[in-house]
Structure 1
Amino acid sequence: MSTAVEPTSQPGSTDGVHTISQSIGSLSLDADSQRVERQLGNTETSYFLPSRESGVNDMYLHLGCRAPAHLFQRTLVRLTWAILRVRHPLLASRVEMHDYEDIRFVYNVPSSPEEALARAEESLEYRKGTKDELLDSYLNGPRTLSNSRLSYLIVSEPPSEGNEDTQNHDILICTTHFLGDGMALHQFANHFFNLLASKTEVELKDLLQQEWETRCKASHGQSVLPASLEDRLPKESQVGFKRIAERIDFQLSQDKLIGGHAFPRRSGQARRTIVPTIPFDEERTKKILKNCKEHGVSISAATFALCSIAWARTNNLKWELPTMMYSALNLRPQLVTTPAINDSYWFIAIGYFNVVLPAFLPKSTQDVSATFWQRARSAKEQSTDAAKNKRLVSRSREMAAKRAKQARVWAKEDDDKANSVWKAPPPAPKKDTGPPRPPSNALIGLSLLGNLDGIYKHATFSEIKLHTLTTGSRQRQGGMLMFGYTFVGKLWISLGYDENGFDKDVVDKFWHHVLAGVDEFLG
């Protein structure tokens, strides 16, 4: 693939144009134009294709804070937003799809700091409204993002609070999921508030100038798009036998995933995502975390056990089959570090793992607590095995390839149906394959973010005092995802789901048992 970038001089500059040519993974560039591009990797493709119609998996991060009004002047926010978009060029890129195998990020390098600032303004919005109004609009209204707008920043101010020195502000950072993951999103938010709180307008202007000169003006390749996950993983084996062994190992690991439970669904109504979120105060959170530590597990492992017990108390069918839950796995510790790759952390680097737990409860109610902690320890063991498995890289590569292949098949089917040219494939011939395979249904997905106070350096935010965090994504019809994290010293548990896609009574009962389980088991 041929690509190009031209580091352009400022008006009136006598600097010459330096022709460079460099190849990084599947990305190449030279200095003949302002355009930089690269192919999407398999993981990015698997998220991009389903997002095209209605923004499935478009991420958001809401942060509520109190701060003096002058810190959120549009001029300061716009400068901060522009600086970070120059540092992380995927945020300022677009996607061009030529066919199902040829999908590209395209970045037009800004020709000046003023152009970078103007582009930032185009993806910045100030509006009135509450946090709930902000989230409902993003999750259930028309799609905010698009192939030509991969990031967006919304600053919302509720009605005036009188003459108070500080005001409440709600910030919504929006990006597509194929652009990055939760770790990138939270690191970005930390840097955003640090810059906004610590620098004057003059200092921010100077910093934008410096960033542009370093990464855009005569960058010699420093402003290239960050490489994909697949290009950052250790190189796959070129030995034929080893490659076959890796594929067999992946298939065997998939065959072990047995899950016989799913929430009863309903159809016929438009998707409507809601995100009930429950915070536990600092004193209660300390007690919960101490209790988990005493039992040798993390709050993340305990959350799997909470869902297991809550579902057993909600559902009285198929107890002979286990319950399976899935979660994302941070692959950043597995990546190869090389100075040739852009230093941006904005790229998606997640894999997937599953936790399988029994679906039944002991007959004696006195034994339920012991069962809970045993299942929490089992969840910990399964999570640890997934993260430290020596086959993690090869399994992640195989999973990404499988997901991308399936996404291409479904995308073509969707497009053919939209164009009225789709034909149902002929039924597959029946084969004598022996006993039927056990089901592999996942009950729910869990996004367990851990202690976010390890990412947010609150002491550097000066007069900005963060108090609320809610995160998630636009969902497909019938989507459900639970979040668990600690933030500003509090444990937060939230359930994002399509309230029109499930049996309401069942979901309400399950959510009640989850929260009751916190009281019963965690303290």
Structure 2
Amino acid sequence: MLLDVSCSVSDEDESEVERQLGNTELSYFLPSRASGVNDMYLHLGFVAPEHVVRRARVRMVWAILRIRHPLLASKVVMQGYDDVRFVFTPPQSPEYALVDADSNLEYRTSTKDELIDSYLNGARTLSNDRLSYLIPSLTPRSMSPFDECESPSYNHDIMICAAHFLGDGMALHQFANDLFVLLGGDKTIAELEAQLKEELSSRWGADSTRTAVLPNALEDNFIVSPSKLRSAAEKIDFQLSQQRLVGGHTFRRQTKQPRRTIVPTISYDPERTKNILKRCKTHGVSISAAIFAACNIAWAKMCSEKQELSMMMYSALNLRPYFTVKPANDSYWFLAISYFNVILPTFIPQSIDLSSVFWHRARVAKEQSTQAAKNRMIVSRSLLMAEERGQRARLWAKEDDERERGTFVPPPPAADTTLRTPSAALIGLSLLGNLDGIYKHGTFPAIKLHTLTTGSRQRSGGMLLFGYTFAGKLWVSLGYDVNGFDKVTVEQFWENMLRTMDELLLQ
């Protein structure tokens, strides 16, 4: 007999667990308050039998995963710019866990494009009281090519939504894999119910021996030396590293209309993908380095001014391998990213074959990426960057609140006559690598994943390019505010980008 989830949660024993947000989390949380800037989504299209996506099964799996990953089921309480907390109330019974899961689960009958457009451009889905949300979409469709007489399969869509201050892309994809393992596995609904009871008891029951229940903030995963001399040296190193960031190119912006994010996406079939990866290997680079070079060539082809200034791009760096503190919780839902930059020339030499220029710049991008990841100061630089981003986020949040109240007074202009080196980034790249290394397709044979699109709600004038391999295909997408930039310029860049990949990666 399945659990009765009709009970009211008002009777629940409020035994709350909490911790403060760290600097990195604050730098994402504070800008998100007004309209959900940086709220992440992950859309997956798949083929599966109807029973896999029945609400009772999805709700049970969703409940199990929210017990494993408490930040997903937490809320955020803000008392001040320096006092923002995650607050988690452990479910006191399996019934309460299912009620919580069900209230953060919404079935729709929308297409992939409708789901994404609604999330990116409609009213905010998430809030301080709802940090994650699951949206399966079931639309009437014809049978799939995977039909079987005993268990006919259909196309389905699912979208996982989570605030970015909960975690990063790696957490999101690992979570999606675990979701499909449970949904598409062999366990019956009764066996999943037994698993829910067991995991709730072992993780949050009275006999639990846990010493900490919420995953650490990023900054708490490192042992920091108390030495004042070391601290001073690290600050000087950080300042010098920042001064070396030189970039003089940006897309021309316009803000005449409300933000509207679009995500043009292309994919290369498995055979072309194999050829691209083989060609990259021949030239000693990864596809990620090649995408940096493709962006560079695409912009250089259309750039007619300031060619003496470098072009700078930024990307995320996974900090998990550098942790020196044992995790307080076995959940992988937490933020663990910093940033690095790739800086390349803007001009294209006319005396050198374009293919040679492209592969040379791909190798330079690889070298810069490797240097960033292997730099012995990576931890101190990341922590100081997190502190700087946190301070900046607090200042801007205070200004935003004062403007809303009508009490903001602009500070007097600074009397700074220093000549500053331009340090603008043209674009951000989210290069996720081979996602087929995360999605263990063989562990959920009832489900055939075929489409993946990811991104986040953007601020006005936001832009981010994604590149990854999934289901044997290379995917490239450009998420940007179509009303925030000069339309002709961005479309020309995207066309140049795809042409560069076709001409130089598929030769």
Q: Compute the TM-score of the two structures, normalised by the length of structure 1.
A: 0.91
Q: Which residue of 2 aligns with 1:297?
A: 285
Instruction: Kindly state the Cα deviation for residue 95 of structure 1 after the two structures are TM-superposed.
Output: 0.2
Query: Structure 2 residue aligned with 1:122, among 103, 117, 120?
Result: 103
Cα distance between partner residues in 2 of 1:410 and 1:302: 36
Amino acid at match of 2:379: V
Indicate whether 1:201 and 2:189 are aligned.
yes
Contact 2:220 2:325 in 1 (8 A): no
CA distance in 2 between counterparts of 1:154 and 1:367 reads: 49
In structure 2, the residue matched to 1:266 is: 254
Aligned twin of 1:401: 387
Alpha-carbon distance between aligned partners in 2 of 1:318 and 1:337, rounded to the nearest angstrom: 46
Give 3-state SS (helix, strand or coil) of 1:45's partner: helix
Q: Which runs of structure 2 are paired with 1:78-93 in the superposition (5 Å)?
A: 78-93=59-74
Instruction: Tell me, yes or no, if structure 1 residue 455 matches structure 2 residue 438.
Output: yes
Paired with 2:157 and 2:190, the residues of 1 have a C-alpha distance of 25
The answer to whether 1:99 aligns with 2:80 is yes
Give yes or no for the alignment of 1:446 onto 2:429: yes
1:33 Cα shift?
5.7
Correspondence 1:54 to 2:41: no
Q: Using the alignment, how far apart are the partners of 1:195 and 1:71 within structure 2?
A: 10
Q: CA deviation at 1:217?
A: 1.2
Query: Is the CA contact 1:216–1:223 (under 8 Å) kept in the aligned structure 2?
Result: no
Contact 1:214 1:222 in 2 (8 A): no
Distance in 1 (alpha carbons) for counterparts of 2:454 and 2:211: 31
Kept after mapping to 2: 8 A contact 1:353/1:383: yes
1:112 to 73, 88, 93: 93
What is the CA–CA distance in structure 1 between the aligned matches of 2:106 and 2:416, rounded to whole Å?
Answer: 56
Q: Look up the equivalent residue of 1:418 and give its one-letter code.
A: E
Aligned to 1:27: none
CA deviation map 1:85-111 (0-9, x unaligned): 000000000000000000000001111
The alpha-carbon distance between structure 1 residues 223 and 129, as it changes in their structure 2 partners (threshold 3 A), is farther
Find the counterpart in structure 1 of residue 8 from structure 2: none
Name the structure 2 match of 1:367: 353
Which residue identity lines up with residue 213 of structure 2 in the other structure? V
**Structure 1 residue 220: deviation in Å?**
3.0
Report the Cα distance in structure 2 between the residues aligned to 1:337 and 1:302, rounded to whole angstroms: 35
Alignment of 1:425-436 (within 5 A): 425-431=411-417, 433=418, 436=419
Residue by residue over 1:253-282, the C-alpha shift from the partner in whole angstroms, topping out at 9 and shown as x without a partner, is: 000000010001111200000001100000
Of the three residues 460, 463, 484, the one matched with 1:501 is 484
Q: Deviations over 1:2-24 (max 9, x none)?
A: xxxxxxxxxxxxxxxxxxxxxxx
Residue identity opposite 1:187 in structure 2? Q
* Equivalence map 1:414-493=2 (5 Å): 414-431=400-417, 433=418, 436-493=419-476
Contact 1:215/1:222, CA 8 A, preserved across alignment? no
Aligned to 2:119: 138
Residue in structure 1 matched with residue 225 of structure 2 by the alignment: 237
CA distance in 2, matches of 1:111, 1:222: 19
Corresponding residue number in structure 2 for 1:41: 22
Q: Note if contact 2:143-2:154 (Cα within 8 Å) is conserved in structure 1.
A: no
Residue 125 of structure 1: SS of its match in structure 2?
coil
Aligned partners of 2:416 and 2:304: how far apart in 1?
Answer: 34
| DSSP-derived class of the 2:108 partner | strand
TM-aligned CA deviation for residue 158 of structure 1: 2.0
Cα-Cα RMSD:
1.2
| Mapped partners of 1:394, 1:112: distance in 2 | 43
2:308 is equivalent to residue 320 of structure 1: yes
The residue number in structure 2 matching 1:518 is 501
What secondary structure is seen at the aligned counterpart in 1 of 2:258? coil
- Equivalents in 1 of 2:297, 2:285: separation in Å? 16
What SS does the aligned partner of 1:238 have?
Answer: coil
Sequence identity, in percent? 64
Partner of 1:176: 163
Gaps of 5+ in 2: 1-12
Q: Contact conserved, 1:215 with 1:223, CA < 8 A, in 2?
A: no
Give the 3-state SS of the residue equivalent to 1:178 in structure 2: helix
- Secondary structure of the residue aligned to 1:495 is strand
The separation in 1 between residues aligned to 2:416 and 2:435, in whole angstroms, is 51
Partner residue, 2:215: 226
Distance (whole Å) between structure 2 residues aligned to residue 451 and residue 162 of structure 1: 29
Find the counterpart in structure 2 of residue 350 from structure 1: 337
Cα distance in 2 for residues equivalent to 1:315 and 1:128: 44
AA of the residue aligned to 2:171: A
Could you tell me how far apart the structure 2 residues matched to 1:260 and 1:309 are?
15
Separation of aligned partners in 2, 1:245 and 1:112: 52
Which stretches of structure 1, 4 residues or longer, exceed 3 Å deviation after superposition? Answer: none
Secondary structure at the counterpart of residue 462 of structure 1: coil
Find the partner of 2:55 among 51, 74, 77.
74
- Alignment correspondent of 2:326: 338
Whole-angstrom CA distance in 2 between matches of 1:241 and 1:477: 42
Gaps of 5+ in 1: 1-31
**Counterpart amino acid of residue 82 in structure 1:** A
Q: Letter of the aligned partner of 2:445 in structure 1?
A: S
Secondary structure of residue in 2 paired with 1:492:
strand
Q: In structure 2, what residue type is equivalent to 1:424?
A: P
Whether the 8 Å contact between 2:289 and 2:365 is mirrored in structure 1 is yes
Quote the residue 1:185 is aligned against: 172
Q: State the alpha-carbon separation in 2 of the partners of residues 210 and 123 from structure 1.
A: 22
1:19-38 residue pairs with structure 2 within 5 A? 34-38=15-19
Worse-matched range after superposition: 212-221 or 124-133:
212-221
Query: 2-side partners of 1:338 and 1:390: how far apart?
Result: 20
- How far apart, in 2, do the equivalents of 1:75 and 1:458 lie? 23
Query: Counterpart of 1:392 in structure 2: which amino acid?
Result: I
- Is this contact kept in 1: 2:40–2:161, CA < 8 A? yes
Report the Cα distance in structure 1 between the residues aligned to 2:139 and 2:501, rounded to whole angstroms.
33
Whole-Å Cα distance in 2 between the matches of residues 385 and 306 of structure 1? 20
In structure 2, the partner of 1:10 is none
